[in-house]
Amino acid sequence: MKKAFFSTALLVLASIASFAQVKWNADPAHTAIIFSVKHLGINFVQGHFAKFNGTIETADSTNFQNAKVEFTADVNSINTGIEQRDNHLKTDDFFNATQFPEIKVKSVSFKKIAGNKYVMLADVTMRNTTKRVPFDVTYNGVVKDPWGLWRAGFTAKATVNRLDFGVKYADKLATGVYAVAPTVDILVNAEIVKQ
């Protein structure tokens, strides 16, 4: 009886272990969340968020199919290289950093489509508005670093319409062109470290 119970317990533990998730954290020194938006219809202004955190859970160390991804960016860390512009972006014209200090991205699905290409559907929350956004993701590989840590690299791209999230600044030129375009390109270069 005891032997049967012990065998059953081992099987249960083994099945739990087989469903265990591998956890990864974004390395802030080697990860960037970058955005690009057209200005006056003729040029692009780029910026990034200097403070963020990201976590990823996978079935194992090499299989990223169905990965669970969560990223949070600190709106107050926005940086376009011009302090006056950054301060304007933090106002209610744009992000309203006082009332909505975070932008959140949470994956709904993460599917391999071919080779090293994936599509991630994610709920993006900005100014307390959540929209589902597709990200094109490229898996750049996995490596053991000189300190014995496993690292994986990804590049993710998406385009959002900021007006959909209540980022409402909408001044236009006399020609009808937006001073700041509604569409914003997002680029995330993520280096994640296995925990």
| 50-67 pLDDT tens trace | 999 999 999 988 899 999
Task: With beta carbons less than 8 A apart as the criterion, state whether 153 and 187 touch.
Answer: no
Which residues, at least 6 apart from 48, have a Cβ–Cβ distance to it below 8 Å? Answer: 32, 33, 34, 35, 78, 79
Domains in the chain and their CATH numbers?
21-194 (2.40.128.110)
pTM recorded for the entire structure:
0.87
* 169 CB-contact burial (10 Å; exposed 0-12 / middle 13-18 / buried 19+): middle
For residue 19, pLDDT beyond 80: no
| 64-119 pLDDT tens trace | 999 999 999 999 999 999 999 999 999 999 999 999 999 999 999 999 999 999 99
